Amino acid sequence: MHAWLCENPVGVDALSWKELPTPTPGPGQVLLQIQAASLNFPDLLIVQNKYQMKPPLPFVPGSEYAGVVSAVGDGVKHLQVGQSVACLSGTGGFGTHTLAPAALCMPLPPGFPPVDAAAFIMIYATSWHALMDRAALKAGETVLVLGAAGGVGTAAIQLAKAAGARVIAAASSEDKCALCRQLGADEVINYSVHKPQTTLRDEIKRLTDGKGPDVIYDPVGGDFAEPAFRSIAWRGRYLVVGFASGPIPSLPLNLALLKGASIVGVFWGDFAKREPQANAQMMQTLAAMYMKGQIKPVIDQTLPMSELPRAYAIMGSRSVKGKLVMVN
């Protein structure tokens, strides 16, 4: 097998494409032949030693992938050789094969393509857990999605619309705003025009008739957080999803008091570990929505696995709409 090995987490340039012995699955593991693996923001942080999870060295990055079971370890009952699965395990995806924890593998229904499957779990699980579980989104409410043209943002638009919400999508270019409209956003905000330091808050106010959004979905953080939170509706829920812009913002807590608003943390990874049954039920719901055509990952482009450094460069340029997927 071949894989991109991280022996020194100082950045993408330190990764090397190496031939490695094909491993044998241990108890509770499966060996997967990887067909596709997607890039998520943590995949960039982890090779720079900036992510909260720091795997022992050396490791193969690639948090999310899809493939076919080649061998099963002792105790694995629900998966069989030849079965197609998707998996989000944190590492291991950027190669031709990997050992995956069987408990984290999602069996795929027939007709679920590997490219879509590799781009599915993280964005839809995060967004469903955020909107439906943590924010208890109701039909008729207004959702503001920041970073709306990225992976989790595009998923949030689709799920919020499926729930009957009105969606305002904020993105950084006209191209990205056009994509958000195609996905069903009712209104868009181009924050290269309405910058956080200037008119972002005014534009949110205008698009909500002064009421503000009931739910704010924020995977961006940084300068966007405070003006967005200042615009939130009474009893609004501010979803802290991530910090893709870099800086972790500080919010004045008196704003939560004045708006009767909630600041709600969204950590899907821990939810999946702590509440595995609820997570499994959620994944079944999401897979059924996909098969009915209600949701579909936005794939910016696919690239050969051997071109991973180029994919990282594209991701770093912040030009990606949806997800980048590597294929074998």
Q: What is the pLDDT of residues 63-119, one digit of tens each?
A: 999 999 999 999 999 999 999 999 999 999 999 999 999 988 989 989 899 999 999
Domain boundary among 253, 268, 283: 268
User: Letter for the amino acid at 237?
Assistant: R
pLDDT for res 236: 98
Q: What is the pLDDT of residues 116-152, one digit of tens each?
A: 999 999 999 999 999 999 999 999 999 999 999 999 9
**Is there a domain that residue 202 lies in?**
yes
Strands 64-72 and 142-145: unpaired
Please check the confidence at residue 230 and state whether its pLDDT lies above 90. Answer: yes
32 CB neighbour count, 10 Å cutoff: 30
The set of residues, in sequence order, having a beta carbon less than 8 Å from that of 206 and lying 6+ positions away, is none
**Is there a domain that residue 282 lies in?**
no
**Domain identity same for 153 and 54:** no
Structural domain for 92, as ranges? 2-120+297-327
CATH code assigned at 317: 3.90.180.10
pLDDT for res 217: 98
In whole angstroms, give the CA distance from residue 94 to residue 304.
11
User: Letter for the amino acid at 93?
Assistant: G
Please check the confidence at residue 43 and state whether its pLDDT lies above 80. Answer: yes
**Is there a domain that residue 321 lies in?**
yes
In whole angstroms, give the CA distance from residue 11 to residue 34.
23
Report the percent of the chain where pLDDT is more than 70.
100
SS3 assignment for the chain: CEEEEECCCCCHHHCEEEECCCCCCCCCEEEEEEEEEECCHHHHHHCCCCCCCCCCCCECCCCEEEEEEEEECCCCCCCCCCCEEEEECCCCCCECEEEEEHHHEEECCCCCCHHHHHCCHHHHHHHHHHHHHHCCCCCCCEEEECCCCEHHHHHHHHHHHHCCCEEEEEECCHHHHHHHHHCCCCEEEECCCCCCCCCHHHHHHHHCCCCCCCEEEECCCHHHHHHHHHCCCCCCEEEECCCCCCCCCCCCCHHHHHHCCEEEECCHHHHHHHCHHHHHHHHHHHHHHHHCCCCCCCEEEEEEHHHHHHHHHHHHCCCCCEEEEEEC
Q: Do residues 65 and 37 lie in contact, with contact meaning Cβ atoms separated by under 8 Å?
A: yes
**Domain identity same for 153 and 252:** yes
Q: What is the pLDDT of residues 153-200, one digit of tens each?
A: 999 999 999 999 999 999 999 999 999 999 999 999 999 899 888 899
**Domain identity same for 228 and 142:** yes
- Which residues face 188 on adjacent strands? 169
**Domain identity same for 131 and 256:** yes
Mean of the pLDDT values across residues 283-301? 94
Number of domains, the chain: 2
**Is there a domain that residue 130 lies in?**
yes
Strands 105-107 and 84-88: antiparallel
pLDDT for res 254: 93
**Domain identity same for 98 and 165:** no
Please check the confidence at residue 303 and state whether its pLDDT lies above 80. Answer: yes
Q: What is the mean pLDDT of the chain?
A: 94
pLDDT for res 182: 97
pLDDT for res 105: 92
**Domain identity same for 256 and 127:** yes
**Is there a domain that residue 254 lies in?**
yes
**Domain identity same for 308 and 261:** no
- The pLDDT confidence band at residue 19, using thresholds 50, 70 and 90, is very high
**Domain identity same for 69 and 188:** no
**Domain identity same for 19 and 49:** yes
**Domain identity same for 41 and 108:** yes
In whole angstroms, give the CA distance from residue 171 to residue 142.
17
Q: What is the pLDDT of residues 199-213, one digit of tens each?
A: 999 999 999 999 999
The encoded tokens of residue 79 equal: 């998966």
Report the percent of the chain where pLDDT is more than 90.
83
**Domain identity same for 153 and 55:** no
**Is there a domain that residue 280 lies in?**
no
19 CB neighbour count, 10 Å cutoff: 9
Please check the confidence at residue 267 and state whether its pLDDT lies above 80. Answer: yes
**Is there a domain that residue 275 lies in?**
no
CATH code assigned at 262: 3.40.50.720
Give the pTM. Answer: 0.91
21 CB neighbour count, 10 Å cutoff: 6
**Domain identity same for 108 and 211:** no
Q: Do residues 123 and 117 lie in contact, with contact meaning Cβ atoms separated by under 8 Å?
A: no
pLDDT for res 50: 86
Mean of the pLDDT values across residues 229-249? 92
pLDDT for res 1: 95
Chain centre distance of CA 86: 14
235 CB neighbour count, 10 Å cutoff: 10
